[in-house]
Structure 1
Amino acid sequence: MNLTYTKHDAVGIITFSRPKALNALNSEVLKELNTILDKIEASEDIRVIILTGEGKAFIAGADIAEMQGKSEQEAKAFSSLGHDVMNRIEQSPIPFIGALNGFTFGGGLEMALSCSFLLAAETAKFSAPEVNLGLIPGFGGSQRLVRAIGLNNARYYLYTANMFDATEALRMGLVQAVYSNEELMDKAMELAKLITSKGPLATRTLAAVVNCGLEKGFVAGCNAEQEAFAYLFNNEAQEGMSAFLEKRKPQW
Structure 2
Amino acid sequence: MMNQYKNLIVEMINSKVVVLKVNRPQARNALDTNLIMELSEAVAKVNAMEEIAVVILTGVEKVFIAGVDIKDLIGISVSQAFQIASKMKALRNEIIHSSKLFIAAINGYCLGGGLELALVCDIRIAQTNAKFGLPEINLGIIPGGGGVSLLSEIVGSAMARKMIFTGEIFSAHKAMEVKIISDIFEHVLEEGVLLAQSLSLKSQTAIAAAKRVMNSGVLQGNEVYLEKELYEFSFLFDYPDSVEGMGAFLEKRKPSFKN
Q: TM-score band (shorter)?
A: 0.7 to 0.9
Matched AA of 2:217: G
Partner of 1:92: 98
1:201 paired with 2:205, answer: yes
> For 2:175, what is the secondary structure of its paired residue?
helix
Q: Does the CA contact (< 8 Å) of 2:65 and 2:113 recur in 1?
A: yes
Partner of 1:3: 8
> For 2:100, what is the secondary structure of its paired residue?
coil
Q: Does the CA contact (< 8 Å) of 2:66 and 2:114 recur in 1?
A: yes
Aligned length: 215
Partner of 1:122: 128
Larger Cα Rg: Structure 1 or Structure 2?
Answer: 1
1:178, distance to aligned residue in structure 2 (A): 0.3
Identity %: 36
Per-residue displacement from partner, 1:41-98 (whole Å, max 9, x unpaired)? 2221110000000012100110000111211111111111111111221221111100
> Larger RCO: Structure 1 or Structure 2 (Cα < 8 Å, ≥ 6 residues apart)?
2
Partner of 2:229: none
1:197, distance to aligned residue in structure 2 (A): 1.6
Partner of 1:188: 192
> For 1:175, what is the secondary structure of its paired residue?
coil
1:161 paired with 2:183, answer: no
- The correspondence for 2:138, drawn from 115, 132, 138, is 132
> For 1:14, what is the secondary structure of its paired residue?
strand
Instruction: Provide the rounded CA distance (Å) in 2 between the counterparts of 1:98 and 1:157.
Output: 20
Q: Does the CA contact (< 8 Å) of 2:47 and 2:99 recur in 1?
A: no
Per-residue displacement from partner, 1:12-61 (whole Å, max 9, x unpaired)? 10000001100000111111111112221222111000000001210011
Partner of 1:226: none
Bigger shift: 108-117 or 203-212?
203-212
Instruction: Provide the rounded CA distance (Å) in 1 between the counterparts of 2:200 and 2:49.
Output: 16
Aligned residue runs from structure 1 range 213-252, under 5 A: 213-216=217-220
1:123, distance to aligned residue in structure 2 (A): 0.3
Matched AA of 1:194: S
**TM-score w.r.t. length of structure 2:** 0.81
> For 1:4, what is the secondary structure of its paired residue?
strand
Matched AA of 1:177: D
1:60 paired with 2:66, answer: yes
- The correspondence for 2:108, drawn from 89, 102, 108, is 102
> For 1:119, what is the secondary structure of its paired residue?
strand
**TM-score w.r.t. length of structure 1:** 0.83
Instruction: Provide the rounded CA distance (Å) in 1 between the counterparts of 2:85 and 2:161.
Output: 21
Per-residue displacement from partner, 1:76-132 (whole Å, max 9, x unpaired)? 111111111112212211111000000011111111111111010000011110010
**Quick one: structure 1 residues 130 and 207, their matched pair in 2 at CA, closer, same or farther if it must change by over 3 Å?**
same
Partner of 1:224: none
Matched AA of 2:189: M
Matched AA of 2:126: A
Instruction: Provide the rounded CA distance (Å) in 1 between the counterparts of 2:133 and 2:215.
Output: 26
Instruction: Provide the rounded CA distance (Å) in 1 between the counterparts of 2:117 and 2:140.
Output: 21
> For 2:199, what is the secondary structure of its paired residue?
helix
Bigger shift: 194-203 or 205-214?
205-214
1:23 paired with 2:29, answer: yes
1:210, distance to aligned residue in structure 2 (A): 1.6
Instruction: Provide the rounded CA distance (Å) in 2 between the counterparts of 1:174 and 1:13.
Output: 21
